[in-house]
Structure 1
Amino acid sequence: MLRGRMLVAQAKIQQLFLKQGLNMKSPLFVFLLMQVSLGFSQERRLSVIGEAEVTEVANQAQFTFVVTKSGRDLRTAFVEGQTYLSTIYIDLQSIGLDSTAIRQSKVRVDEKDLTWFTSKKKEAVLRTTVIINNLDLLEGVLEILGKYEIEDLSGIDFTLKDQKALKQKAYVAALEDARRNAAAITQSSGLTLGEIQRIEEEAGLPSNSFLAEEMAYRLRQQAYRVSFFPEQISLSKKLKVTFAIN
């Protein structure tokens, strides 16, 4: 922005010299161009901090779990694991969970002695990721999983389907806060706030996690029913904004 204004000023000097028939290689011409460049490089600036925090209700949850099955060979172990998972998937879909929300993300195969008198057997470890776009189903999903022999049930990550909208909202709010801060300074100093010259930003998105493994265990033991899950996603944005001042 400043460079553009400087080039316009230099062009006007060139036009003036051409109109007057003056030598544009003269020391005077060079001196005037240098003065214009120096004047713009010394233009006054003001840097302020703008901060904002915005909050939205979470509309998505995600977690993973593992099913482990063994057999005399890889195929047997894998098929048994897939069969067991199919039963779980059918139960999950019976309460309204979409089939696209269930993803088998990883399969690992190990060879191990299961007991002292058996030969080595293959063990298939199947990890599944579940993404829930309707949080009303979350309690029912955990109840179902609590009935099965699953392992490594991770914490639940509560997120937003579209985080870009929240980031944009936080950015605009922080920018408005910076502009208010800059306006307060310039008004009290008798100055005029100019254009934005630079924006530097940093932001962090907190992780809202819930101990799904413990909850599923307690549901399986019928100790209590889930009645609350964290549903707020907050995003903080901090901007350093540099304005031109006149």
Structure 2
Amino acid sequence: MKSLPALMLGAAVIGLSAPAALAQSAPTAPMSVHAMAAQPALNLSAHGEVKVAPDMATITFGVTTEASTAQAAMADNAARMTEVFAALRRAGIEERDIQTSGLNLSAQYDYQQNEPPRLRGYQASNRVTVQVMDIDATGRIADAVVAAGVNQIDGIGFGLKDPKAAEDQARVLAVRALQDKARLYAQELGVELGPIRSLSEGGGYSPQPPMPVYAMARMEVADASTPVAAGQLTVRIDITGTYDIGR
């Protein structure tokens, strides 16, 4: 017959071993998470692209003047820019479409070897960016501002007043291309194509930066309105998608 202490010790051993056995028999959560992560998938990318004619233009131009004093250079520049603004208003440009993009005054020096720089005078420069909503009037407006006193045209760019329609069209083409690619891969791999798990987008409309004068088509002043070719803009949407596939 066992003594009382021995029986108590045996009960304690049984009590300690039971939770360990239960813990070993219970399923562990990490295994189920790993199984979900192992779900096969297709990670694909595609794009949609449309060509569209621009319906607006942006011209950057300015007036540069020089005088013996800073005050005279600025006064001369202001007088000529006043005439330029008046010409823009006569051409139908709204004030909200005119923005000063640069104003600068700098001293001008003559340099000779072995001699200190000699002040020649001052140069004032005023740059303006104008949005032309009637794209057919672009050449005529360029001529008008030159006649009013502009002596530098920095560049011209073309854009869209509302790019949403072109972007949506590119999105439709991008999704169709992605779907076609997913079906092709699934067919050739001999697997069943499941639902799309995720979709991300990039790209979209970006206004064309102004082209420098030398890249433009004949911006010199002529009797007829200066010819300007707007061409076409490219609107592109890039997408990436992940599809579930069957084993």
Larger radius of gyration: 2
Query: Post-superposition shift, 1:72?
Result: 4.3
Hey, what's the Cα distance between the residues in 1 that align with 2:239 and 2:137?
38
Query: Post-superposition shift, 1:228?
Result: 5.0
Query: Post-superposition shift, 1:35?
Result: 3.2
Hey, what's the Cα distance between the residues in 1 that align with 2:97 and 2:26?
71
Greater mean deviation of Cα atoms: 180-189 or 125-134: 180-189
Is 1:49 the equivalent of 2:45?
yes
Number of aligned residue pairs: give it.
Answer: 217
Counting aligned pairs with the same residue, the percent is 17
Listed as ranges, the gaps of 5+ residues in structure 1 are 1-22
Hey, what's the Cα distance between the residues in 1 that align with 2:49 and 2:37?
35
Q: Is the Cα–Cα contact under 8 Å of residues 156 and 211 in structure 2 kept in the other structure? A: yes
* Equivalent in 25, 48, 59 of residue 63 of structure 1: 59
TM-score (norm 2): 0.72
Residue in 2 that maps onto 1:20 = none
Hey, what's the Cα distance between the residues in 2 that align with 1:151 and 1:41?
65
Q: Is the Cα–Cα contact under 8 Å of residues 44 and 240 in structure 2 kept in the other structure? A: yes
Query: Post-superposition shift, 1:42?
Result: 0.7
Residue in 1 that maps onto 2:100 = 104
Q: Is the Cα–Cα contact under 8 Å of residues 193 and 243 in structure 2 kept in the other structure? A: no
Hey, what's the Cα distance between the residues in 1 that align with 2:55 and 2:187?
43
Is 1:83 the equivalent of 2:79?
yes
Hey, what's the Cα distance between the residues in 2 that align with 1:172 and 1:236?
11
Q: Is the Cα–Cα contact under 8 Å of residues 52 and 238 in structure 1 kept in the other structure? A: yes
Q: Is the Cα–Cα contact under 8 Å of residues 49 and 240 in structure 1 kept in the other structure? A: yes
Report the CA distance shift for 1:205/1:107 in structure 2 as closer, same or farther (over 3 A): closer
Residue in 2 that maps onto 1:27 = 24
Report the CA distance shift for 1:28/1:172 in structure 2 as closer, same or farther (over 3 A): farther
Residue in 2 that maps onto 1:8 = none
Q: Is the Cα–Cα contact under 8 Å of residues 145 and 216 in structure 1 kept in the other structure? A: no
Residue in 1 that maps onto 2:194 = 193
Hey, what's the Cα distance between the residues in 2 that align with 1:55 and 1:82?
42
Q: Is the Cα–Cα contact under 8 Å of residues 66 and 122 in structure 2 kept in the other structure? A: yes
Say which SS state the counterpart of residue 161 (structure 1) adopts.
coil
Over aligned residue pairs, what C-alpha RMSD do you find?
A: 3.2
TM-score (norm 1): 0.73
